[in-house]
Amino acid sequence: MALRPDEFYERALAAADDERRLPLARMTMWDVSPFEPAGLRVSPLRPPVLPESPRHGEDPSACDSCRDRDQGIWLHEHWRLTRIAGAGVPLILMLHPREHHDMAELPDELAAEMGVLTKHLVRHVQALPHVTRAHVYRVGDGAAHLHLWFFARPEGQAQFYGSWLPIWDDLLPVYPDDVAAADAEIVVDALIASYGGHRPTE
């Protein structure tokens, strides 16, 4: 059985210093880390807060993603795609089911569809000039309505490998919006050709 919240916290505190600060993560020693270990400090470990705060959209009637179910750069019977503006990396796209589902409750047919659609999106993002990889993320703590993130890693930036890419994105200056919008259009064209769907105005 998993540790209770208090047991987990006490076990973590045993590895912390007198200020409740854990040692630096092994990830900060990786050569792709955006931070030099010298001078970094871990925030003090806070005790668990129970019950947890509800995520945005736990009530579908107050869910922004449900409200915007017909918005985005691409629509399909079950899915919609949006572009995140103001990114530091070349492109960030987000895939949402149009109906209110979270990952654990996603019907099997939609889960299978999501897998195929994810493959198409990764292929089309990686086909963009000067993009090497499409990183795919699902976190689930901020919103109850399922959403997958697709981050385009710029070609040649080996320092942006792996799980640090969203942090690098937050540190980088904003990528030219007109370039990102044009690349998103290329992805949408390719997606319509390979998978179907349409732009919202069609």
Judge if 32 and 120 occupy the same domain.
Answer: no
Residue 88: what pLDDT?
97
**pTM tops 0.85:** yes
Judge if 66 and 23 occupy the same domain.
Answer: no
Q: How many domains does the chain have?
A: 2
pLDDT digits (tens, 9 = 90+) for 41-79: 999 999 999 999 999 999 999 999 999 999 999 999 999
Judge if 84 and 34 occupy the same domain.
Answer: no
User: Would 199 be classed as within a structural domain?
Assistant: no
Containing structural domain, residue 77: 60-194
Coil, helix or strand for 73? coil
User: Would 39 be classed as within a structural domain?
Assistant: yes
Low-confidence ranges of the chain (pLDDT < 50): none
Residue 202: what pLDDT?
62
User: Would 35 be classed as within a structural domain?
Assistant: yes
135: left (phi over 0), alpha (psi -120 to 50) or beta: beta
> Taking the mean position of all CA atoms in its chain, how far away is CA 9?
27
Residue 81: what pLDDT?
98
Judge if 36 and 118 occupy the same domain.
Answer: no
Question: Closest Cα to residue 188, out of 111, 112, 116, 127?
Answer: 127
Judge if 89 and 181 occupy the same domain.
Answer: yes
Judge if 97 and 43 occupy the same domain.
Answer: no
Domain CATH code at residue 80: 3.30.428.10
State the Cα–Cα distance between residues 80 and 185, nearest whole angstrom.
Answer: 14
Long-range contacts, stretch 31-34, CB < 8 angstroms, 24+ apart: 31/159, 32/158, 32/159, 32/160, 32/161, 32/162, 32/164, 33/164, 34/159, 34/164, 34/167, 34/168, 34/171
Judge if 121 and 101 occupy the same domain.
Answer: yes
Residue 201: what pLDDT?
81
